[in-house]
Structure 1
Amino acid sequence: MTTDTAERLAALEPACTSAEAETFFDSLPPVRPEELTGRYRGRELATGHPMDGSLESSGWYGKQFDDVDHVHPLLFRGRRDEIFAVEPRKVPLGIVPKVPAAVAARSHQAVRLLKPAIRTSKHRARLRAVEHRGVVTAAMVYDHLPIIDVFRRVDDVTLLGVMDLRGAPPYYFVLERD
């Protein structure tokens, strides 16, 4: 990552507007699907999105790209720091913005308790090159949900992603390879 790019990302991470995140995203180079292998730790880019804080408070860890056709789109942290994949259809993303903050703060405990019911060993997404905002870049397409996560390269180990969920504003996040 160039010093300028690192400084720009660092300046945005505490809090920024969706427009600022979009401008930064658009300034980054594309990434090819084949380049996204490995496990990535995620963190949210606070833009005022209704989901801000909800993934991290639930114990979200990140994503795992085994190859272009085998992706675990949602990894969570369990007890003793165990990382496990979750079935995305069992995560109620549509109601997340409506959950009171006090309840959301305890959602990590709920994920841990529900682990046997929500855990999966099956890959639930795949990577494809898509055109997004005029640039062809890697995107993760969920198998059973109307969600596409689009990625741009920050550096060799860091990606900026945007979740495109039908009917919702863009949700920005950072992924850093383990």
Structure 2
Amino acid sequence: MTDLADLQAGIDVDRAEELFDSLASVTVEEILGRWHGSEVPTGHPMDGLLEVSGWYGKEFADADHVHPLLFGTPGSLYAVNPKLMPLGTLNRLGPRFPRWMPPGGAAGFRLARTRKHRARLREVRFRGTVSAAMVYDDLPIIDHFHRLDENTLLGAMDLRGSQRPYFFLLERD
């Protein structure tokens, strides 16, 4: 199953891991640019949180300059400092707090805006394969990427304290 709509509708976490492991690796240079993201529901405690938050995606300017969290809509996108997002808390609370929002709803993320790049890209071994990965500057998180097709990546967020990866898609803008 590699149809985007099927993945966005949800997949068993074991199947998501199998799919991720079966996909080709990518280099840092191959993924430079801006990407629109969506979730792959697997039953992970963070399922649904990015969607309700208004997350747009990621921007990889070069290996050392990455905006890991873009919010808004094309023409009015803004980067958010992930250090100001309670990702660890959300991971622990999971379904008990599925609709967390900052004060003012998704617009409240504007309070955490940044112009500074908050992550970098490196090639990292994960689940036996070396591929491009995004390393957050201030958080114990690494997002690993494999190629689903020419313009789509399957991402696996490796978040300290999480038993299984959180899966998401990135489609090239």
Residue 35 (structure 2) pairs with residue 40 (structure 1): yes
Deviation at 1:10, TM superposition (A): 4.1
Establish whether residue 122 from structure 1 lines up as the match of residue 116 from structure 2.
Answer: yes
Could you say which residue in structure 1 is the equivalent of 2:8? 13
3-state SS of 1:122 partner:
coil
| Partner deviation per Cα, 1:30-70 (whole Å, 9 max, x = no partner) | 00011111110000000000110001100000100001110
| Residues 51-100 of structure 1: CA deviation (Å, up to 9, x unaligned) | 1000110000010000111000001116x962110001000012224263
Q: Does 1:133 align with 2:136?
A: no
What is residue 63 of structure 1 aligned with on the other side? 58
SS for the counterpart of 1:35 is: helix
Secondary structure at the counterpart of residue 41 of structure 1: strand
Count of residues paired in the alignment? 169
For residue 49 of structure 2, the aligned residue among 39, 48, 54 is 54
CA shift in 2, pair 1:114/1:174, >3 Å: closer
- Residue aligning to 2:152: 158
The SS at the match of 2:24 is: coil
Q: Give, in angstroms, the shift of residue 16 of structure 1.
A: 1.2
Output the CA distance in 1 between the equivalents of 2:130 and 2:52.
32
Native 8 Å contact 1:161 1:172 kept in 2: yes
- Structure 1 residues 114, 52: closer, same or farther in 2, change over 3 A? closer
The one-letter code matched in structure 2 to 1:100 is F
**Superposition CA RMSD, Å:** 2.0
Map 1:73-84 to 2 at 5 A: 73-77=68-72, 82-84=76-78
* Pairwise CA distance, 1:110: 2.4
After TM superposition, the score normalised by the length of structure 2 is: 0.90
- Structure 2: which amino acid aligns with 1:47? T
- The aligned residue for residue 79 of structure 2 is 85
Residue 28 (str. 1) matches residue 23 (str. 2): yes
**Residue identity (%):** 53
Residue identity matched to 1:122? K
One of 112, 123, 137 as aligned partner of 2:107? 112
CA distance 1:6–1:16, change in 2 (3 Å): closer
Partner Cα distance (1:164, 1:173) in 2: 12
**Are the aligned partners of 1:71 and 1:126 in contact in 2 as well (CA < 8 Å)?**
yes
